[in-house]
Amino acid sequence: MSIVSSVNHILPIAASMEPPRLQGAAISGLGFYVPDRILTNSELAERVDTSDEWIQSRTGIRERHIAAPHEATSDLALIAAHRALKNAGVDAADLDLILCATSTGDYVWPATACIIQDKLGAKHAAAFDLSAACSGFCYGLATAAGFIQTGAMKKILVIGADALSKHLNWDDRSTCILFGDGAGAAVLTPCSAGCGILSSTLGSDGSGLESVWLAAGGTRTPITTEVLDKKLNCLAMRGKEVYRFALEMVPAAIYEALKRVCRSPEDISLLVLHQANSRIIEAVSERLGMNPDRVFMNLDRYGNTSAASIPIALTEADEQGRMKKDDIIVTVGFGAGLTWAVNVIRWN
Ligand code: COA
């Protein structure tokens, strides 16, 4: 849908001076894809000074999937997108927008979403990338919901996709053990008010820039041989800072998002937190007073897949029948930026 038609849609409402009636925005289809290659903790222990026991006890991760040399982020995203569209019963040609949350796009520019738009044959879709690291998919859900709730668009594909393995220092045991590659996608369509995405709380704290980042390759620090020698082209992280940030910000953001729709943690049927570390997930759940049976976890098999973690988790939760009509599902992303994002969803 073009900008012109969306403006036309809003004008009659403004002219009649009636407040705009917001409709709902629901997730009507989900899908994910991870590359075939599985990298176990034991294999990593052959490369760096670590062990399966250390990784499992500190992170909860057993294995992760790694993209092949020829596989780029859009390749993973495309398969996830096809699966989500099929699941939703939506034709790519009917999409109004493709929004790809990623920190590991195929190119510096243009957007990976444009590559996906072309390969899907989504002829009528606008396309852009969203950069909010591991919070990207939840930022994307909030953005897409806004377009649908105002009536500007009807069918939006939100993708979270990352291939962080391409940006890791495989000699750094403090980071290379944590991440995996993958993609997940959700199709958003209109629904009745009071259903679908009920509220979103988004936040950022740029003072935490260096807590987890990829310093080189942008306009501040272009790639030089010195940069490559120092491995500044690889992800760097101060793990303890990120850990503390997550425990400080995430529970507060969840309370805030729930408060906006007069809900509390007791109302949550399933909490789908960013799959970064099982200890973070357990500590956050404890602070909310939630038992593990209402908290989703699959990071043992995928590691931290960044923007893909939430849509992969949502798809698996759906396949396992863990989300029923009218359930309150809370999705939470947090990560580089620093950024965080919470969506409260009434499932339908
Ligand atoms: N294997 C074995 N030992 C390791 C190791 C590994 N893979 N990585 C680090 N260590 C060592 C350290 O060198 C340190 O040794 P020392 O005591 O001799 O100096 C020791 O283990 C403890 O390291 P520390 O960094 O204090 O461990 P930790 O308990 O904080 O766990 C993380 C490290 C990364 C697992 C943890 O900080 C974390 O998960 N943080 C959040 C990261 C995250 O989620 N990032 C993504 C956000 S989207």
* Model confidence pLDDT, tens digit, residues 36-67: 999 999 999 999 999 999 999 999 999 999 99
Give me the chain's average pLDDT, please.
Answer: 94
Strands, E assignment, the chain: 24-33, 38-40, 63-65, 97-101, 126-130, 156-162, 182-191, 196-204, 212-213, 236-237, 270-273, 328-335, 339-346
Residues recognised as catalytic: 134, 274, 304
- State the pLDDT confidence band at 348, using cuts at 50, 70 and 90: confident
Q: Which residues lie with the beta carbon below 6 Å from any ligand 1 atom?
A: 50, 54-55, 58-59, 134, 173-174, 177, 212, 237, 239-240, 242-243, 276-277, 304, 335
Report helix, strand or coil for 271.
Answer: strand
* pLDDT confidence band for 13 (50 / 70 / 90): very low
CB atoms within 10 A of CB 121: 11
pTM (whole model) above 0.85: yes
Which one has a higher pLDDT value, 51 or 15? Answer: 51
In angstroms, the CA 326 to CA 158 distance is 22
Nearest CA to ligand 1 atom 15: 174
Nearest CA to ligand 1 atom 12: 174
Name the residue among 96, 162, 151 with its Cα closest to residue 312: 162
Kindly state the average pLDDT of the residues 281-293: 96
State the average pLDDT over residues 115-140: 98
Residue 261: pLDDT over 70? yes
d(CA 135, CA 336): 8
Answer whether residue 16 shows pLDDT above 90: no
